[in-house]
């Protein structure tokens, strides 16, 4: 085998291989391994009692990334540095944070930028419309996101919006998420919460395909008509395999985030069981 590898290749053979390479890639694209993380709201009580111990336990389970939610915004920069050191020591990342509307206002954004830069987070995701004013509050939300995106872009950071059920329920014939998508630049992440999208009767696969390159991460929360969100990942009616295919072929997904609002098991066991099912599904 060694001698074969060392044989010189002719110019004609080299050109033929070069011409065939794009076709081969198109026919058989390389497998893509997308990291999976945990939205730490899933273990919120444990996190409030013992943040370092909870993050260590989550990393030990095998989660590769985490997403801190709104209480992080009250941290001091020094505490954020301690958390970043913990993440680095554990070999996990925090590429995004989950925020109230205040974090992306002109007054609140500087603090959010400081904390997110310390944590190594690229995406500052708004998870509530807040008290949006005006005749069309969702256009107001879009304007706020667009302004924040403009300030974040030179820093290599991005604003994002996280949907709940209400954003997929039509108001005057238009779904709020459609308004946000249409009135914000492509740099604004559309963080898809799968469970709430499905509960609203919307099609998450169609949504991803309608917004190519804007679904860099998803909250993989399941939902079922009988149990609501209190089902483990994979136990609901979400079409996960089709969602993964769309997210990885056109959505631009960089990582997934499992999220749980509760189940028949304790929170830490729930997180572990969800990850086990994730690995089984993705095998």
Tens of pLDDT, residue by residue over 16-64, are 323 333 333 333 333 459 999 999 999 999 999 999 999 999 999 999 9
When pLDDT is averaged across residues 206-234 and rounded to a whole number, the result is 97
Establish if 14 belongs to a structural domain: no
**How confident is the model at residue 32, as a pLDDT?**
56
When pLDDT is averaged across residues 161-167 and rounded to a whole number, the result is 97
**Residues above pLDDT 70, as percent of the chain:** 88
Signed CA dihedral, 248, 250, 256, 261: sign only? negative
Establish if 24 belongs to a structural domain: no
Establish if 117 belongs to a structural domain: yes
Establish if 18 belongs to a structural domain: no
**How confident is the model at residue 13, as a pLDDT?**
32
**pLDDT exceeds cutoff 80 at 108:** yes
Cβ pair 168, 198 in contact under 8 A: no
Give the 3-state secondary structure of residue 46.
helix
**What mean pLDDT, rounded, does the chain reach?**
90
**How confident is the model at residue 30, as a pLDDT?**
35
Give 212's DSSP letter. T
Q: Give CA–CA dist 103/91, Å, rounded.
A: 27
In CATH, what number is assigned to the domain containing residue 165? 3.20.20.150
**How confident is the model at residue 130, as a pLDDT?**
86
Establish if 23 belongs to a structural domain: no
**How confident is the model at residue 135, as a pLDDT?**
64
Around Cβ 183, how many Cβ atoms within 10 Å?
17
Number of structural domains the chain divides into: 1
Give the range of the structural domain holding residue 104, as residue numbers without chain letter: 37-282
**pLDDT exceeds cutoff 50 at 224:** yes
Establish if 25 belongs to a structural domain: no
N-terminal to C-terminal alpha carbon distance within the chain: 31
Question: Among candidates 191, 176, 178, which has minimal Cα distance to 221?
Answer: 191
**How confident is the model at residue 21, as a pLDDT?**
34
Q: Give CA–CA dist 113/148, Å, rounded.
A: 10
Establish if 251 belongs to a structural domain: yes
Around Cβ 270, how many Cβ atoms within 10 Å?
21
pLDDT tens profile 185-217: 999 999 999 999 999 999 999 999 999 999 999
Establish if 6 belongs to a structural domain: no
Give the 3-state secondary structure of residue 158.
strand
């Amino acid at each position: 085998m060694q001698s074969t590898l060392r044989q010189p290749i002719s110019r004609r053979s080299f050109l033929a291989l070069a011409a065939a390479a794009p076709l081969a890639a198109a026919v058989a694209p390389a497998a893509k391994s997308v990291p999976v993380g945990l939205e730490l709201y899933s273990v919120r009580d444990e996190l409030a009692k013992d943040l370092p111990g909870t993050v260590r336990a989550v990393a030990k389970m095998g989660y590769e990334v985490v997403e801190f939610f709104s209480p992080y915004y009250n941290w001091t920069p020094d505490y954020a540095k301690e958390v970043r050191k913990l993440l680095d020591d554990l070999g996990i990342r925090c590429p995004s944070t989950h925020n109230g509307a205040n974090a992306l206002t002109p007054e609140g954004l500087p603090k959010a930028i400081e904390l997110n830069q310390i944590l190594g987070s690229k995406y500052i995701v708004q998870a509530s419309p807040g008290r949006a004013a005006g005749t069309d509050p969702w256009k107001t939300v879009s304007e706020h996101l667009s302004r924040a995106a403009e300030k974040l872009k030179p820093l290599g950071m991005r604003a994002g919006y996280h949907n709940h059920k209400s954003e997929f329920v039509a108001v005057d014939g238009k779904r709020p998420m459609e308004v946000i998508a249409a009135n914000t630049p492509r740099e604004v992440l559309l963080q898809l919460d799968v469970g709430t999208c499905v509960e609203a009767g919307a099609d998450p696969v169609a949504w991803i395909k309608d917004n190519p390159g804007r679904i860099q991460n998803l909250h993989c929360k399941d939902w079922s008509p009988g149990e609501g969100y209190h089902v483990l990942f994979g136990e609901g009616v979400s079409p996960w395999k089709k969602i993964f295919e769309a997210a990885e072929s056109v959505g631009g997904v960089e990582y997934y985030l499992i999220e749980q609002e509760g189940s028949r098991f304790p929170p830490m066991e729930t997180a572990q069981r969800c990850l086990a099912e994730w690995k089984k599904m993705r095998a």
